[in-house]
Amino acid sequence: MMRGRIWLAGLLLAGLTTGASAQTMSYAEAGALIAKSCGKAITTYCGKVNIGSGKVLDCLEKNNAKVPPQCFTDLRAAIASIDKRSVARQDAFRLCRADAAQFCGSVQPGDANLLDCLLASRKVVNKACQQALLDAGWQ
């Protein structure tokens, strides 16, 4: 059980530092998309709202008639993508456990060693593991 937690912690840490592309958006990509689609509306209608307060979305919704529809479309897409990435990172250990045992059994946990092994073995790991690694942003 402890080995599994160490492995999962390694995966999570690796995910925070890996710059790989994925089917899901990183926080930076989501922020850039929202800034592009909603930046002008946020500045114009919500300029006095503290960005960190979580009330910007409320402000945009309050000004719905004046905010471009693409802003809300991109906000929903960014939120859904970040949620998908988060779930994939939580599910990766479970979905890749058998592959980790089969292909990476001799790898010492820590420093993202198991993640590196799984990524090196990605062509032979099961499809669910491949998808979790991709959706988690680790490929």
For the entire predicted model, the pTM comes to: 0.68
Give, for all 139 residues of the chain, the pLDDT tens digit: 333 333 333 333 333 333 334 478 989 999 999 999 999 999 999 999 987 777 999 999 999 999 999 999 999 999 999 999 999 999 998 999 999 999 999 998 888 999 999 999 988 999 999 999 999 998 7
Please say whether the beta carbons of 60 and 67 come within 8 A: yes
Extract the tokens encoding 13.
Answer: 């840490």
Q: Please state the domain extents for the chain.
A: 2-135
Extract the tokens encoding 119.
Answer: 């990524």
Q: DSSP for 2-42, please give it.
A: HHHHHHHHHHHHHHHH-----SSPPHHHHHHHHHHHHHHHH
pLDDT for 17: 35
The candidate with the shortest Cα–Cα distance to 130, out of 94, 102, 101, 92, is 92
Reported as type and span, the H/E element at residue 22 is none
